[in-house]
């Protein structure tokens, strides 16, 4: 099936998320849509899938124009979609999820799940998915849930499969398996639209790459194109993808975590007997797939987790049991993982956001009154220093782009002398241009002699920034390894394999990462 988009535009109010986009997906091809977060890739696919109505333009299937009034129409036309956030009902079984919306029934509308189970087993066998139709979806690992999504599309005879940022939630190994599955689907004649901003994966699997920037098609590129070339097409200017940083010059270990355990509100041991140290002037990166205890670890350090045992010391002083204010006061800068929820008050101005944790101290406060002039002066200098793109520091934080919001958070946290700097997902949802800048600031902080802890689920980021890498899996420390550890060893560790085993497995299959299709 050949799929064409002609002159598609989608406006939200006066803002155009897509403008005049042309795209042709040929049969049996893997067509990649490359673009930064917020470039309009997902909007375009939601138009194609019938979730949004296009403001202008038309969709053609095999040369004939079609109109999709809802996802049902798109599915009927042979288009399937695997959303970035899975559209699975967590408490249903795999079979129930696959059946939903296209149920086989016996007389009287009684469900006949046996038909669905059979179809699932067929597809599962064909592609080696290893999915149990009767498993409850919420008990399945993310990678398997994604396969359930793919099965959902295949059961509905999808000829074009849209994968929206499918690798964002996967371990590197799961990613490679997914790329293999994509190649297999392609060889069976299914076209795939692969949406991503990760250059490595795009180059590995695509037949054609279409680059989108600010809602417009910038151009097509072959998969052989240089990484830097793709990156500059995506961003619109020259970008440096590698980080030039001096080797670390670690001093004494001032931040120590010993036997730290955190029990979640549901009684789960989410951080399990963690011990590590960070030296002055080094960056320790905490790697791991999302949801393996990273959030709780940072929150425990900050003092917002209740059920914590063990010890956290900074320069010999115990932090556990202190209030958040005391912890911050002892010289900890903290960039939370979700800036719009925990990092900023979007309804406050940029200037106010820049003093969120300093508002009650000199020079911003005097007695019980605040000194707006000082707040403004501080805002102007921070905005200039961190290159926050805004007409005025009096604008609301919500008016900023993700990258600029993150600069505001970072500017606030780095604006006082620190004894420890913690940044969670420092560049999540941030444009490539800003990433460069933010990474530079983090390394500068390290070079100033501050111990730095970075939590990131992006392996690229971890490998670029880290001097040492600690891998978490199910709340446990799998190991701390050097920054030169090969990517696939880290990947195995992120799946819970011990460093020594991962290392030996790497020796056996050094080409694993190429994911050759044999």
Bin 445: left if φ > 0, else alpha if -120 < ψ < 50, else beta: alpha
What's the min distance (Å) between Cβ of 432 and another protein? 27
Question: At residue 134, what are phi and psi to the nearest 5 degrees?
Answer: -100, 5
134: tokens are 């009767």
CA distance 506 to 363: 55
The nearer residue to another protein, 267 or 391, going by C-beta atoms, is: 267
Rounded to whole angstroms, how far apart are CA atoms 320 and 318?
6
Name the minimum Å distance from CB 8 to another protein.
17
Q: Is the peptide bond before 174 cis (omega within 30 degrees of 0)?
A: no
In the bound complex, what is the minimum distance in angstroms from residue 497's beta carbon to another protein?
6
What is the C-alpha to C-alpha distance for residues 146 and 437, in angstroms, rounded to an integer? 34
Task: Using the minimum distance from each CB to another protein, give the nearer residue, 70 or 372.
Answer: 70
Which C-beta is closer to another protein: that of 149 or that of 282?
Answer: 149
- Considering the complex, what minimum distance in angstroms separates the CB of residue 71 from another protein? 5
- Cβ at position 86, least distance to another protein in Å: 8
The neighbour count for residue 301, using CB atoms within 10 Å, is: 23
Best CA proximity match to 81, nearest among 152, 179, 176, 137:
152
CB of 268 to another protein, least distance (A): 5
Report the 10 Å Cβ neighbour count for 260. 25
Contact partners, residue 114, CB within 8 Å, separation at least 6 = none
Q: Residue 39 Cβ, how far from another protein at the closest point, in Å?
A: 18
| Identity of the residue, 484 or 508, whose beta carbon is nearer to another protein in the bound complex | 508
228 vs 498, beta carbon nearer another protein = 498
Q: Residue 141 or residue 251: which is nearer to another protein going by CB?
A: 141
Concatenated DSSP letters for 163-203?
A: EESTTTTS-HHHHHHHHHHHHHHHHTT-EEEEEES-HHHHH
Output the smallest distance, CB 253 to another protein, in A: 28
Nearer to another protein, 179 or 211 (CB): 179
Q: Report the alpha-carbon distance of residue 256 to residue 478 in Å, rounded.
A: 17
Whether the Cβ atoms of residue 77 and residue 4 lie closer than 8 Å to each other:
no
3-state secondary structure of 289: coil
* Smallest separation, CB 356 to another protein (Å): 29
Q: How far apart are CA 492 and CA 173, in angstroms?
A: 7
Pick the closer one to another protein by CB: 49 or 386: 49
Closer CB to another protein, 34 or 162, in the complex: 162
> Positive or negative, the Cα torsion across 425, 356, 408, 281?
negative
| CB neighbour list of residue 173: distance below 8 Å, 6 or more residues apart | 488, 491, 492, 494, 495
CB of 43 to another protein, least distance (A): 10
Whichever of 335 and 494 has its CB closer to another protein, that residue is 494
Paired tokens of 267: 């009684």
Positions touching another protein (CB under 8 A) are 49, 51-52, 70-73, 75, 81, 83, 86-92, 96, 99-103, 105, 108-111, 128, 173, 176-177, 180-181, 184, 266-270, 272, 474-475, 491-492, 495-498, 501, 505, 509, 512, 515-518
């Amino acid at each position: 099936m050949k799929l064409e988009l002609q002159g598609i535009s989608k406006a939200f109010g006066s803002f155009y998320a897509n403008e005049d986009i042309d795209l042709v997906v040929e049969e049996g091809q893997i067509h990649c849509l490359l673009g930064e977060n917020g470039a309009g890739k997902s909007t375009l696919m939601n138009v194609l899938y019938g979730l949004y109505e296009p403001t202008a333009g038309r969709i053609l299937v095999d040369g004939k124009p079609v109109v999709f009034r809802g996802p049902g129409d798109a599915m009927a036309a042979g288009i399937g979609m695997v959303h970035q956030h899975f559209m699975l009902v967590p408490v249903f079984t795999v079979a129930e999820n696959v059946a939903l919306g296209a149920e086989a029934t016996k007389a009287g509308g009684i469900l006949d799940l046996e038909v669905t189970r059979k179809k699932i087993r067929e597809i599962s066998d064909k592609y080696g998915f290893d999915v149990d139709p009767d498993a409850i979806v919420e008990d399945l690992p993310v990678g398997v849930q994604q396969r359930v999504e793919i099965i959902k599309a295949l059961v509905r005879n999808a000829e074009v499969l849209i994968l929206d940022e499918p690798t964002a939630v996967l371990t590197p190994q799961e990613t490679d398996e997914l790329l293999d599955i994509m190649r297999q689907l392609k060889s069976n004649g299914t076209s795939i639209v692969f949406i991503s901003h990760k250059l490595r994966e795009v180059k590995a699997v695509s037949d054609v790459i279409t680059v989108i920037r600010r809602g417009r098609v910038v151009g097509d590129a072959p998969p052989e194109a240089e990484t830097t070339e793709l990156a500059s097409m995506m961003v619109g200017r020259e970008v440096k993808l590698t980080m030039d940083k001096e080797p670390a010059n670690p001093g004494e270990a001032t931040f120590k975590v010993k036997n730290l355990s955190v029990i979640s509100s549901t009684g789960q041991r989410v951080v399990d007997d963690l011990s590590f140290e960070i030296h002055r002037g080094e960056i320790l990166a905490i790697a791991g797939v999302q949801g393996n205890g990273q959030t709780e670890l940072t929150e425990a350090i900050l003092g917002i987790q209740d059920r914590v045992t063990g010890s956290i010391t900074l320069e010999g002083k115990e932090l556990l049991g202190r209030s958040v204010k005391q912890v911050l006061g002892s010289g900890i800068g903290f960039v939370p993982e979700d800036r719009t929820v925990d990092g900023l008050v979007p309804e406050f101005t940029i200037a106010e956001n820049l003093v969120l944790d300093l508002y009650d101290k000199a020079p911003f406060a005097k007695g019980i009154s605040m000194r707006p002039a000082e707040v403004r002066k501080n805002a102007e200098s921070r905005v200039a220093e961190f290159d926050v793109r805004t007409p005025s520091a009096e604008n609301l934080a919500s008016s900023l782009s993700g990258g600029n919001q993150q600069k505001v958070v970072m500017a606030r946290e780095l604006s006082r002398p620190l004894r420890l700097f913690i940044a969670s997902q420092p560049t999540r949802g941030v444009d490539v241009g800003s990433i460069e800048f933010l990474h530079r600031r983090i390394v500068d902080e390290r070079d100033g002699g501050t111990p730095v802890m970075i939590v990131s689920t992006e392996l690229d980021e971890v490998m670029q920034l880290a001097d040492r890498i600690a891998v978490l899996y199910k709340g446990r420390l799998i190991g701390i390894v050097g920054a030169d550890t090969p990517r696939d060893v880290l990947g195995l560790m992120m799946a819970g394999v011990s460093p020594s085993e991962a290392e030996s497995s790497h020796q056996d299959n050094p080409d694993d990462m190429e994911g050759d299709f044999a």
